[in-house]
Amino acid sequence: MASGLPPAQPHPTGTPGVGDVYWLDTVCYGGNKKPTRPAVVIRGPIPGLLDDVIVICRTSKQEYSHTHVRHPADLALGLDRPGAFAKSYRRHVDLGFFTQPQFTSYQGQLGEPYLDQILRMTGMA
């Protein structure tokens, strides 16, 4: 279990929704070079049908050759440096992880125009 998650903010509904930004322990979706990563929800769970949440993880790499949306630092979301939400960083995370604070930390809502750009990039708009 990673120990580097920032403190969580209260979530308005308790269920991950489109545009929600979380810091994730990468155990949630399998091996990763970093123990924690920020991610934005691009599809929440579908009650009675799908118990997974689709997220796009964020990287702070300066150079990224794959399709991505650049995003500035945003301290309100725990993002202390510029980064990119990269299409190739799309992950499915079991809804159960979002109920366990040792694995996820809700930070707030991603603002426009970034969310719209990410949803268009991933075909979710």
* Length of the chain as a residue count: 125
> Is the alpha carbon torsion for 48, 88, 32, 104 positive or negative?
negative
* Domains present along the chain, CATH in parentheses: 20-121 (2.30.30.110)
User: Per-residue pLDDT tens for 46-76?
Assistant: 989 999 999 999 998 777 777 999 999 999 9
User: Per-residue pLDDT tens for 79-115?
Assistant: 999 999 999 999 999 999 998 999 999 999 999 999 9
Phi, psi of 119 (to 5 degrees): -65, -40
Encoding tokens for residue 83?
Answer: 């980064």
Report residue 1's pLDDT band, with 50, 70 and 90 as the boundaries.
very low
Encoding tokens for residue 115?
Answer: 């969310």
